A and B are shown apart, each in its own frame.
Chain A
Amino acid sequence: MESAARLDQNHQLSIKEFPYIIKWREDRCTRCGRCTAVCPVKAIEPAVNTQRTVTSEGSSPEPKVTRRLTHVVKQSMEIERYCIGCGSCALVCPTEAIFPEYNFQHKFYHFKNKGGIPYMRGGRRNDPSVSTLDKLKFTRISMLTDPALDAGRHEFRIRTLLGRNLPAEHLPIRVEGGKLITIPGSFVPPVREIYPIRIGSMSIGALSPHMWEGLAMGITYLNEVEGLPVVMCSGEGGLPPSILKSRYLKYFIIQIASGYFGWDEIIRALPDMIEDPCAIEIKYGQGAKPGDGGLLQAYKVLGLISKIRGVPQFIDLASPPTHQTKYSIEEAVAKMIQSMSMAWGFRVPVYPKISGTKTARAVLNNLARNPYAAALCIDGEDGGTGAAYNVSMDKMGHPIASNIRDCYLDLVKQGKQNELPLIAAGGVGKGGNLAANAAALIMLGASAVDIGKYIMQTAAGCFGDEYNRCNVCNLGKCPRGITTQDPKLYRRLDPDKVAERVVEVFKAADVELKKIFAPLGRSTELPIGMSDALGVADKDIADRLSISYVC
């Protein structure tokens, strides 16, 4: 036997180390080459094998050995070319001869740090277990004394408020002739009435032009045709000038983050704006990568993006983890909210977004004292990202459910739960249950929820899942054309189809929300903080969230 030391393959990885193993059926394969051509990471390649065949003819055995060359599809054993499991090969195969299979025994994380560079990816936390949000159910069903409503026929008003609601005691109104009249010249903070499910911050840079356009068209249609005031956030990186100067700007929340990318264009467009944006979101943190700034890797910094962001092409765009000009959150609140408010004449709600954290309540209490803070958005650990270190995504962050609940109950203690809306993000719809997750968060105290990954999956067929499938958003190689700036890839994605799906998704969620609210007997106002409607079959979760334990 040859000694192990001399095995040429000893320092190579075996197939069992890889997260996905390609299952290829020689008998079905027509060798058309589509799979190897489409593979975004070149994990498979055409190869030539020698095949030895032994045959025997006649009545007595007379074995004959023949050797012939045969073409095969071979999986790469190089860690840089690991199969991401996206399944593009299966999608294009005309004979169903190939598909990737998840390997539960993989040791991918042990090896994906070549060159001393830790594993980076897109997507979200790779945790396929049932989320807390999916464990919550609605157990207060109206019966007898308060009959349930008819979700199909009753009139529902599913709307929320984004902006600082003055306490009634501070409203500029007085009684005159038995009626209430407003006192002219008093400042009332801007408050928007919007749909309680928003499309959260995803930048035009993280997303391909076609994906972004599809989302934008979708929400515009929802607003203008369907009457659903759905809004979306720009993410860091600005907005195309065509939107900034259009009447559609009111459907967009513009984000300012620590890299200030895109803000030259925004400030320059200010005099030409014919509508105010829905709101300004100041990003201090992101649930997927708490403590990290935004990151757009060089692969995706191409023509359009470099123009909008005002930077050269092909360089990594890493935003700092904090706003460098600010010493503390207190200062940020005082100055940044103020200056953003001033830019639009105090007509636009301005609020911060932070990553889920144990210290969220401290931030909240600070905001509660600031009369200009319009909301607080908290992005939980299940939030997604276009690019981050795997360790940040998988191991950093705070679940959204208890974070939002703690913050809401803190506001309740101060009597300010209606003044400062909380927006919950991170993992909403992770298991496909958008309306149920949104309703649960609302009943825990959120005024609205953000979705990101969910809309990519449902509107554009994003392959990503919690088994680390695909997740190459950072590399610009998105096989669906969602998170890439490569025209060859994003041309695959039809913006009209994305828009159509966005509309379908929101209309369906609206019906589902009614199916949840109707049995609870609620139709006029969003049941924010209606925690008595929630139950969970896990005592610890019930105790932690101050809701009913049911079994």
Chain B
Amino acid sequence: MCRLSAITSSDYFSPMENIHALETMKEGHDGSGLGLMLKDLGGPFAEFKSFPVLSAVCSNKGLRDLEEYMKAHGFKEKFTWAPSIKNVPGIERREHYIAKVYDYPESYRDKPMGEKEDLLMNTRLALRCMGEPDGSLFVFSFYPDVLTLKEVGDPLQVGEFFGLEKSDVKSKVVLAQGRQNTNYAIYLYACHPFFIQGYGTMTNGENTAFVPIREFLMGRGNPGYMGYNSDSEVFTHIMHYTNRTLGYPLPYYKDIITPMKDSEIAGRSDAPALKLLKKSLRPLCIDGPNCVIGFTPDGTVFMVQDSKKLRPGIVGGKTGKYALMSEVCGVDSAVPDRDKSTDIFPMKYDMVIIAPGAREVKVWNQLHG
């Protein structure tokens, strides 16, 4: 099963910390891929906080197409970062791994953030459509203060390949997934974490209800609900749909993906609304053994899972730094000097929420709301 490693911190840290944590969970992934998603960026990106970062892997042709497209659509390049690639046996090097910071087209500069987000998503989708048929261009995210790196291979080797040990790229939140390939082809777009308009999530466990959920999401009229090269991409989109489109507060994500029994709902102060949600969003019940870890646009990090998850994820740390991992050894690696007695193994009704800054962990209980 895929291994998940998320860290949220009050200080900037290197994504290698996540990769080292993944290394301790090695027996759980097969080295079929590493996905890294960094939020609240430091290092060279620190001065570009409000400008969108486009994370892509491409060939020479793909890069040309990308640059032409961006220019034609009024985006002005402000900064380009590329990892210093070190050849590692077993990892096939592609021509370009890039993160480009752009300024918005002039007509969008004064527009509200919602409209800017739509522009960024539509641009990402357009680039994806251009590059997907011939594999010349993969775009993972295009959003302010978010950087994504993905490659096929063993996580530690991929980290070495990207030269992350010596890199100055740091951030305050990192999601990392070591992939255990299941039903789906080893393909960059199938690699977690997934991203849409400020929301990033990664998951382990196979998604049994994938097809009905995918069909439901694709009928919501949002062009961003596409792709689905992995069954886990739906978890990101469900979060986006409920939190951004419907405007529900974060904990309702738990109520939607793992709805309670009516008798349990009756005990909540918001029971009348919850009963309506349960019916209207019935197809989004994940009904499977999944653990979801992710972040929202404001940098809040969360962990949630279905009661069928046989081995729950774990959250541990200390004020200023918390790790949300699929295995306890990962937390030991990321925050070894914590008080282990305060470790949290979220149970079936729990949603762990850590606000930006990583000052404290909140466990929201679904029974009490």
Question: How far in angstroms is the closest Cβ of chain B from A27?
Answer: 62
**Cα distance, A531 to B269, chains bound together (Å):** 37
- B317 located at the interface, meaning its Cβ lies under 8 Å from any Cβ of chain A in the complex: no
- A369 located at the interface, meaning its Cβ lies under 8 Å from any Cβ of chain B in the complex: no
Q: Name B205's closest neighbour in chain A (CB-CB).
A: A146
B210→A532 contact, CB < 8 A: yes
- A527 located at the interface, meaning its Cβ lies under 8 Å from any Cβ of chain B in the complex: yes
Partner pick for A417 among B216, B248, B259, B310, CB 8 A cutoff? B216
Residues in B neighbouring A179, C-beta threshold 8 A: 249, 269-270, 273, 369
B219→A157 contact, CB < 8 A: no
**Cα distance, A178 to B282, chains bound together (Å):** 22
Q: Which of B97-105, B125-133, B148-156, B285-293 contacts A (4 or more CB under 8 A)?
A: B285-293
Residues in B neighbouring A188, C-beta threshold 8 A: 276
Residues in A neighbouring B279, C-beta threshold 8 A: 161, 165, 191
- B367 located at the interface, meaning its Cβ lies under 8 Å from any Cβ of chain A in the complex: no
**Cα distance, A196 to B2, chains bound together (Å):** 35
User: How many pairs of residues, A versus B, come closer than 8 Å at their CB atoms?
Assistant: 124
Q: Name A524's closest neighbour in chain B (CB-CB).
A: B287
**Cα distance, A16 to B93, chains bound together (Å):** 80
Partner pick for B219 among A191, A413, A532, CB 8 A cutoff? A413
Residues in B neighbouring A166, C-beta threshold 8 A: 276, 280
- B246 located at the interface, meaning its Cβ lies under 8 Å from any Cβ of chain A in the complex: yes
Question: How far in angstroms is the closest Cβ of chain A from B246?
Answer: 6
B247→A412 contact, CB < 8 A: no
User: Per DSSP, are chain B's interface residues mostly helix, strand or loop, or mixed?
Assistant: loop
Residues in B neighbouring A173, C-beta threshold 8 A: 273, 276-277
- B212 located at the interface, meaning its Cβ lies under 8 Å from any Cβ of chain A in the complex: yes
Residues in B neighbouring A181, C-beta threshold 8 A: 270, 272-273
A524-B259 contact in complex given A146-B289, A168-B277, A532-B211, C-beta closer than 8 Å: yes
**Cα distance, A39 to B1, chains bound together (Å):** 66
B273→A180 contact, CB < 8 A: yes
- A50 located at the interface, meaning its Cβ lies under 8 Å from any Cβ of chain B in the complex: no
A527→B276 contact, CB < 8 A: no
**Cα distance, A394 to B272, chains bound together (Å):** 49
**Cα distance, A146 to B277, chains bound together (Å):** 26
Per-position contact with B for A257-298: 1 when CB-CB < 8 Å, else 0? Answer: 000000000000000000000000000000000000000000
A169→B308 contact, CB < 8 A: no
- B209 located at the interface, meaning its Cβ lies under 8 Å from any Cβ of chain A in the complex: yes
Residues in A neighbouring B280, C-beta threshold 8 A: 165-168, 171, 418
A528-B270 contact in complex given A145-B182, A166-B276, A179-B249, C-beta closer than 8 Å: no
Residues in A neighbouring B248, C-beta threshold 8 A: 175, 180
B283→A417 contact, CB < 8 A: yes
**Cα distance, A521 to B206, chains bound together (Å):** 10
Partner pick for A531 among B206, B211, B282, B289, CB 8 A cutoff? B211
Question: How far in angstroms is the closest Cβ of chain A from B209?
Answer: 7
- A530 located at the interface, meaning its Cβ lies under 8 Å from any Cβ of chain B in the complex: yes
Partner pick for B270 among A180, A412, A413, CB 8 A cutoff? A180
Q: A418-B281, A524-B259 are in contact. List 5 more A-B contacts (CB 8 A).
A: A147-B310, A166-B276, A522-B209, A523-B287, A532-B210
List chain A positions with a Cβ less than 8 A from chain B.
Answer: 142, 145-147, 149, 157, 161, 165-169, 171-173, 175, 178-182, 188, 191, 193, 412-418, 520-525, 527-532
